Amino acid sequence: HALSQKRRGQSRELGRMVEAELDDLQMSHTRFEVDFQQQPDENGVPLEDGRRVAFDARGLEKIEFLIAPNPGEGLKPLAKIASGGETSRLMLALKHVLANADEVPILIFDEIDQGIGGRVGTVVGQKLWGLARQHQVLCVTHLPQLAAFGEIHFHVEKEVRGERTTTQVRRLEGEARILELAQMFGGVSQGTLQSAKELLQEAHKLIRFKLD
């Protein structure tokens, strides 16, 4: 009973904080709520209203996250309606809110940049970097504004040799990393090379500011 009451109280604060994070991640107006579901059980825990409900090691109820990504839509299960990009951003929002309580050592975000632009990419990059203070974070991205925040940058590509397809992974440092970021901007030119250098400098400046 104590766990159930605490959950219900904290769920409202969780919803408020997740919605604030989603606003930063270009999912403004998204509503997020926690749904509590109890199952009747004649041999279960007695409630104040006389009902008995099933329980297990996780408590008196089953939890489901509900979202409404667009204004005017009703809340629906996150697992059923969220797109790949929305799911990644929702997970980032949840992990950012729960960073201090989450004991998962490694977090993987695949294509979290789907549907966002460079300005929001910088925000996402900062949030991922913040998570990396307490977890190991692996991120697959095609957005240079996000990639610039990585402490280590790898280039991954497939290569066909004869009748075999292999995957090549190279760690990028120095000029090689600047060149890759320039290519991520859409092609290598003096302009994109300069943009790549400025992007790395800005990311490092933001990181130093947060560390200070």
pTM, two decimals, is 0.73
| Residuewise pLDDT in 10s, the chain (212 residues) | 888 889 999 999 999 999 999 988 888 889 999 999 999 999 999 988 889 999 998 889 999 999 998 888 889 998 887 777 778 788 888 888 887 777 888 988 887 877 777 778 888 898 899 889 888 999 999 899 999 999 999 999 999 988 899 999 999 999 999 999 999 998 899 999 999 999 999 998 888 776 66
Distance CA 34, CA 73 (A): 16
Contact 199, 177 (CB under 8 A): no
DSSP-based three-state secondary structure for 139 = strand
Distance CA 211, CA 156 (A): 30
Contact 66, 35 (CB under 8 A): yes
- Between the alpha carbon of residue 159 and those of residues 31, 130, 164, 167, 168, the distances in Å are 43, 34, 8, 6, 7
- Running DSSP on this structure, what letter comes out for residue 135? S
Q: How many residues does the chain have?
A: 212
Structure-token pair, residue 43: 């041999």
H-assigned helices in the chain:
2-24, 78-81, 84-97, 118-131, 144-147, 175-184, 190-211
